Structure 1
């Protein structure tokens, strides 16, 4: 007697998942914006400032995961701050309560709340809320990308030497040194390079036509799950090394026509290793 394969769980309606992600991101964004001490990055000592940011990270993740669990208790969860549980519904929420914590610490506006819903391993809903920008980006798989409810589209492809590209750097000194060398070799080949500090916002900026491309090594699933879907639904292409999907080795997002040459160049420059 052989075991028959188990059927996949019935998919949750995407509009339900989107509504929950939008509300959870809104609540967490308001908490982070309204409860952040005004002088956090100036008057606080280094240790106390970091403690406050850590407390806010945990508080926001607890708010998000509690809200999602209340409404969908059978779903799995993966959160940056340690929230992790398997689920039985086929849906897993991937949560980054503060993407861009250093920006948040210093009172800079480019930090975000990132929430993605995956179904059987594929992202189907992505929401990125950037409260200090006054913007919320979202996408449903196959339904396009939106910013504050209006359709978002990436830019037409420029020549490589006219491309505005963003990146990010690791916190480990040796890794940062190699990443700086990659950027040094890349910058003469493009219009300019930006370093925003929030991977989720950078991916959304590609979707909205504010960047032509973005790349970064060392991202975690919660850094890119929502933003990657939004970028793709905005018309961008995403990947890792040629033939690969975005991952911790390398994430690349760019407008069609720029993506492949940028990806090949980053591969040649060794952007995928330390």
Structure 2
């Protein structure tokens, strides 16, 4: 399949999964368990939506691998792996805050963002109906509208920055310290609670910079593909692939300056 065909498949499955997630939200949320901390929750809907996506892909692409937040990684024989976050922004979802997403990406390689090549992705916000799509070499769209911000210039003091925080209280305090140092250099911050939507938000023009430490591969797989296709520069620390150490997506005119400030302010821990 071409990257555009893979994108269309990711879109179709993500839209169906988003409808299921929204239906379960309207019925009421049941917390299934906590994960890394009491604040890090998983709902019954997370598991149901991931099971739905996994079953659809097993039917349509049985030779592909699968890497989901709730079910772990399974290798395939095709060389492609689907990377899925069934409900990104679970705390928002549990509280009824309309900023959560279904994220579906397909990559070439195994389930490691440092070695895979992103091919196509879809990020769908069930509450707003926003559908972000991107395919390698084919560009990015939001509800059919082309996204491209690669040639936009914004001075750092006028840049709006998005970030996210750890479920660990100790880690959050460290992250807040970095934000405090950066706050005086930029227009303002936004903390919206869903990494995939933060990642594509730079492409959409909602923000100019997004960075976060501690993300998982499924948090940023689709968003990175989409943002890059929209002309956003997305990397990790010192030119590495985006990953747990850092995901930084920014307008190209801002990237180096923000990257260097984050290092100066201690992002490497």
Length-normalised TM-score, structure 1: 0.89
1:71 aligns with 2:60: yes
Query: In 1, distance between residues paired with 2:268 and 2:194?
Result: 19
- Which of residues 223, 229, 248 in structure 2 aligns to 1:233? 229
Work out whether residues 149 and 230 of structure 2, in 8 Å CA contact, stay in contact via their aligned partners in 1.
Answer: yes
Q: Is contact 1:53–1:105 with CA below 8 Å preserved after alignment?
A: no
Greater Rg, structure 1 or structure 2? 1
Q: For the residues of structure 2 that align with 1:235 and 1:37, how far apart are their CA atoms?
A: 36
Specify which structure has the bigger relative contact order, considering alpha-carbon pairs within 8 angstroms and separated by 6 or more residues: 2
Superposed displacement of residue 53, structure 1: 5.1
Q: CA distance change for structure 1 residues 66 and 45 in 2, over 3 Å: closer, same or farther?
A: closer
**Distance change (3 Å), C-alpha of 1:46 and 1:60:** closer
**Aligned-partner Cα distance in 2 for 1:245–1:192:** 26
C-alpha distance in 2 between matches for 1:254 and 1:66: 35
Q: Deviations over 1:195-241 (max 9, x none)?
A: 01111101111011111000000011100000011111111101111
- Do the aligned partners of 2:234 and 2:247 also contact (CA within 8 Å) in 1? yes
Name the TM-score, length of structure 2 as normaliser.
0.91
How many angstroms does 1:23 deviate by? 1.2
Structure 1: which 5+ runs fail to align? 1-11
Query: How well do the aligned residues superpose, as a CA RMSD in angstroms?
Result: 2.1
Q: What's the counterpart of residue 24 of structure 1?
A: 13
Question: How many aligned positions are there?
Answer: 258
Gaps of 5+ in 2: 110-115
Q: Distance in 1 between matches of 2:26 and 2:10?
A: 26
For 1:166-181, list aligned pairs within 5 A: 166-181=162-177
Distance (Å, rounded) in 1 between the aligned partners of 2:104 and 2:95: 23
Does residue 233 of structure 2 align to residue 244 of structure 1? Answer: no
